[in-house]
Structure 1
Amino acid sequence: MRQSNFLQHKQTIRMSMSLILIIGFFLPWFTMDPNFSMFATSKAGFSGMSLVMGINFAVQMINAFGTAYNFPASANVIYLGYLLLLIPLLGVIAIILSGLRHKWGYRLHLIQYAFALFVFIAIIIVTNINAEMRELVGNVTNTGFGFYLCLIVSLAGIVYSIYEWRKGKR
Structure 2
Amino acid sequence: MAPGDTPAAPAQAGAVVVSGADVLRLADIGFEAPTALLAGYGLVLETVPGGQPIPGSYWGECEAGLVGTTVYARADTPVHSLLHEACHLIVMPPERRALVHTDATDSVAEEDATCCLQILLADRLPGVGSQRLMADMDAWGYTFRLGSARAWFENDAEDARAFLAARALP
TM-score where L is the length of structure 2: 0.31
- Structure whose residues are more often helix by fraction: 1
Structure with max Cα Rg? 1
